Amino acid sequence: MVTDLSSRGMRADAADPNVASAADRAVVAGLDALDAGPQLPPRPGLGRRFVRSVLPPIVFLALLVGVWQLAYVAEVKPPYALPGPADVAETFWTNVLSGRASEAIWTSLSRGAIGFAMSLVLGTLLGLAMWASRWLRAAVGPIVSGLQSLPSVAWVPAAIIWFQLSDAAIYTVVLLGAVPSIANGLLGGLKQVPPLFDRVGRVLGLSAAGRIRHVLLPAALPGYLGGLRQGWAFAWRSLMAAELITYSPALGQGLGQLLNVGRELSQMSLVITSITLILVVGVAIELLLFAPLERRVLTRRGLTMR
């Protein structure tokens, strides 16, 4: 009976050319939409992006400086302990114009890039090994998670005893801080990949390395990218902790060592300047590297909007 009713409805639609043409147009429009793929909304204009992304931090910083100036005028702390914004700005521009700030930034960025590159290789290999071996995951996984929660500064005394005041001590602290985050990020991304993907790779005749390269890593890329972002954050924090303690003129002066100079000289303006430079570099790496990369990866997978 249902078939007869459906057949009668189709014949009735066919008898009415207006209904048939409207239905055909709707079907064609739906098929065209499927062929075209997901339609992303238009990018907001420059003014709207400025209001949404740039203006809020500017307003917040202005309010923060205003509160700081009020605290300075009210003498909440002595001037040597809490200098005013004008004094800190003068120290900041003095270090920038003299090249001292750029030298410290370059030294720290060079160390951070080398340490993060080594952490990327070791963390990726460790994450893949834990994913491939259930025994290794059970044996090493809790230790890796524990290392991730351990403060990086705790490794500095041991690194100094092992390698004295050298770059090797600094890179050791960076590796111990960043490798666990990258390994856990990759392992978490691989755990979210459906097992069917790996079986399809086997059916296609891919080797273990081929399945990792062409199937598993692309599928786990969002989680892996989150691990890389967190790994860089831990690497940068570990580097600052190592530079703050392993001060030696032979190593060159990074941002952490510049911060230590301000502490030893009791120059609060230099201390705040160093903290500001450390924060600026960290925010710049996030905004210029990781945020666009993550947005591109997620957008290509239909997981976020532009």
Residue 42 carries which DSSP code? P
Q: What is the pLDDT of the chain when averaged over all its residues? A: 79
What pLDDT was estimated at residue 19?
Answer: 45
Give dist(CA 238, CA 173) in Å, integer: 6
Handedness of CA 293, 297, 300, 304 (dihedral sign): negative
**Range of the structural domain that residue 253 is part of:** 84-300
Torsion on CA atoms 234, 240, 241, 243, rounded to nearest 10? 140
**Within this chain, do residues 292 and 210 fall inside the same structural domain, yes or no?**
yes
CB 241, CB 153: distance < 8 Å: yes
**Within this chain, do residues 18 and 54 fall inside the same structural domain, yes or no?**
no
**Within this chain, do residues 117 and 176 fall inside the same structural domain, yes or no?**
yes
Residue 154 carries which DSSP code? G
**Within this chain, do residues 71 and 89 fall inside the same structural domain, yes or no?**
no
Q: Tell me whether residue 207 is in a domain.
A: yes
**Within this chain, do residues 49 and 143 fall inside the same structural domain, yes or no?**
no
CB 173, CB 241: distance < 8 Å: yes
Residue corresponding to tokens 């057949």: 7
**Within this chain, do residues 64 and 209 fall inside the same structural domain, yes or no?**
no
What pLDDT was estimated at residue 47?
Answer: 66
Q: Which of these, 181, 190, 269, 270, lies nearest to 230 by C-alpha position?
A: 181
**Within this chain, do residues 155 and 291 fall inside the same structural domain, yes or no?**
yes
Q: Tell me whether residue 102 is in a domain.
A: yes
Give dist(CA 124, CA 119) in Å, integer: 8
Q: Tell me whether residue 164 is in a domain.
A: yes
Can you give the length of the chain in residues?
Answer: 306
Give dist(CA 233, CA 84) in Å, integer: 30
Tokens of 288: 């210029």
**Within this chain, do residues 67 and 145 fall inside the same structural domain, yes or no?**
no
**What is the H or E stretch that residue 126 is in?**
helix 100-132
Residue 99 carries which DSSP code? T
Q: Tell me whether residue 305 is in a domain.
A: no
Give dist(CA 84, CA 81) in Å, integer: 10
Give dist(CA 170, CA 238) in Å, integer: 8
Query: pLDDT tens, 56-91?
Result: 778 888 898 888 888 888 888 888 888 888 888 888
**Within this chain, do residues 60 and 195 fall inside the same structural domain, yes or no?**
no
Tokens of 252: 């060159």
CATH number of the domain within which 207 lies: 1.10.3720.10
**Within this chain, do residues 95 and 15 fall inside the same structural domain, yes or no?**
no
Residue 287 carries which DSSP code? I
Query: pLDDT tens, 127-154?
Result: 888 888 888 888 888 888 888 888 888 8
Q: Tell me whether residue 206 is in a domain.
A: yes
The radius of gyration of the chain from alpha carbons, rounded to an integer in Å, stands at 28
Q: Tell me whether residue 306 is in a domain.
A: no
Give dist(CA 225, CA 14) in Å, integer: 54
Domain total in the chain: 3
Tokens of 53: 């992304």
Q: Is 114 exposed, middle or buried (0-12, 13-18, 19+ CB in 10 A)?
A: middle
Residue 76 carries which DSSP code? S
**Within this chain, do residues 225 and 244 fall inside the same structural domain, yes or no?**
yes
CB 291, CB 281: distance < 8 Å: no
What pLDDT was estimated at residue 117?
Answer: 94
Tokens of 161: 């005893």
Tokens of 101: 């700030």
Q: Tell me whether residue 67 is in a domain.
A: yes
What pLDDT was estimated at residue 26?
Answer: 57
Q: Phi-psi bin for 77: left (phi > 0), alpha (psi -120 to 50), beta?
A: beta
Question: Structure pTM?
Answer: 0.75
**Within this chain, do residues 19 and 112 fall inside the same structural domain, yes or no?**
no
Q: Is 135 exposed, middle or buried (0-12, 13-18, 19+ CB in 10 A)?
A: exposed
Q: Tell me whether residue 257 is in a domain.
A: yes
What is the mean pLDDT of each successive set of 10 residues along the chain, which is 306 residues long?
45 47 57 51 62 75 87 84 86 85 90 92 91 86 85 86 86 91 88 80 77 80 86 90 76 84 87 90 88 81 62
Cα angle at 93 between 88 and 94, to 5 degrees? 95
Residue corresponding to tokens 């972002």: 229
- Residues 6 or more apart whose CB falls under 8 angstroms from that of 67 comprise none
